[in-house]
Amino acid sequence: MNQWSMKTKVAVTTDIVKRFERFSDETVLFVFDPFLKSNQKVREMIAYLEQKNRVIIFTEIVPDPPIEKVVTGMQMALQTEPTVVIAIGGGSALDTAKGIIYFYQKVAKRSINYFVAIPTTSGTGSEVTSAAVITDTANKIKYPIFAEVLIPDEAILSIDFVMTSPPSITAYSGLDVLTHALEALVAKGRTNYSSALAEKAITLVFSNLVECVKNGQNEDARIQMHEAATLAGVAFDNAGLGVCHALAHQVGALFKVPHGLANAMLLPHVVLANAKDWTAKSLYADVSRKLKLCTNGLSDEVAVIKLVDAIKRLSKDSVVPATLAEWNIEESTAIRAAEQVADNAMNDFTFQSNPISFDRTKLKEIYHKIV
């Protein structure tokens, strides 16, 4: 049975406060990055909501949210019993909020009336997905959590929060979007609906990412990338992800490589590996032709190679390292981790929806391409 759904209401606006008119006599838990405490927009939101609601603030956000921070936030929730959660930030802030909601409802058996996500990067798509990734820092493993309760009721897309995003963050986030879309395109759970969104997201990334990296003040390009992230998020939340994410989660946990960068390093090699499946090859080739990377007369094999070349060129133009060595990880250190990376990747939830069920040897082969 094919199934497709989209729970989240998406608002593209800079008038964020107007979206909060509905809230009265609620206990609102704000979850956001600590540097946003002094942000004028955030202060306006808090001041507005405090007029009719009780407001609680949690800002213990760190990259690759560890389980310890989620537990701290969940304990705050147990004490304050929020009815509304508003998360503002990049993937780490949104995932922390989702982790708090997930465990709060598991432990306290209480529900949240409304969950609002406001992304400050154009990347994770977390504002529309049922996914969160929590890190076990002791064992250096990232654990994806998938649950319907984690899907925000509303996503507010405002370029006010992305216009000043640094070039590196813009690049890593944007290539994460491309990875989401290309994995959703060939994932086992794909449908015509998810594929349509994935294809549009891919087109928007290729058309706008480099401009956002080189000229961050281009409002139109920023809006296009913000919407691409959401489109790709809905696509992969319905279709699934794949081996690129399964491996990237391990690379990020072991070597502190930003998630989008880990995906960017692995993506060309995963596309080539997945193209051994004739259906995946055909889907990649169709996208390659739609992007006008090759003519219709060329074979699928050539079309896929053109797509891979374009991915590599996009990363290069976005000034993104292509290997762990370029990220200053010693080759010997990276090689020693190969067995652990492969083993943990096979247990990663995202591994299950890849079009090909690779064995440990093949996973190590892909990983070695970025050492």
pLDDT single digits (tens) 230-241: 999 999 999 999
Q: How far apart are CA 91 and CA 61, in angstroms?
A: 10
For residue range 186-231, list pLDDT tens digits in order.
Answer: 999 999 999 999 999 999 999 999 999 999 999 999 999 999 999 9
Would you put residue 81 in left (φ > 0), alpha (ψ -120 to 50) or beta?
left
30 DSSP β-pair partners: 57, 86
Q: Over 80: is that where the pLDDT of 348 sits?
A: yes
Contact 312, 322 (CB under 8 A): yes
The residue type of 175 is L
Q: What is the pLDDT of residues 14-43, one digit of tens each?
A: 899 999 999 999 999 999 999 999 999 999
Question: Residues 123-145: pLDDT tens digits?
Answer: 999 999 998 989 888 888 888 88
User: Over the chain, what is the mean pLDDT?
Assistant: 95
pLDDT of residue 2: 66
Say how far apart CA 85 and CA 127 lie, in whole Å: 13
Rounded distance between C-alpha atoms, residue 305 and residue 208, angstroms: 22
| pLDDT exceeds cutoff 70 at 10 | yes
Which segments within the chain are labelled E, that is strand? 9-12, 27-32, 54-58, 84-89, 114-119, 131-136, 141-146, 154-157
**Residue 259 pLDDT:** 95
For residue 56, what are its two tokens? Answer: 């609680």
Report CA Rg, the chain. Answer: 20
Phi, psi for 108 (deg, rounded to 5): -85, -10
What pLDDT sits at residue 143?
84
Between the two ends of the chain, the Cα-to-Cα distance in Å is: 40
Amino acid at site 218: N
pLDDT band at 1 (very low <50, low <70, confident <90, very high): low
Q: How far apart are CA 240 and CA 231, in angstroms?
A: 14
For residue 309, is pLDDT > 70? yes
Contact between residue 124 and residue 94 where contact means Cβ atoms under 8 Å apart: yes
pLDDT tens, residue by residue, 61-74? 998 899 999 999 99
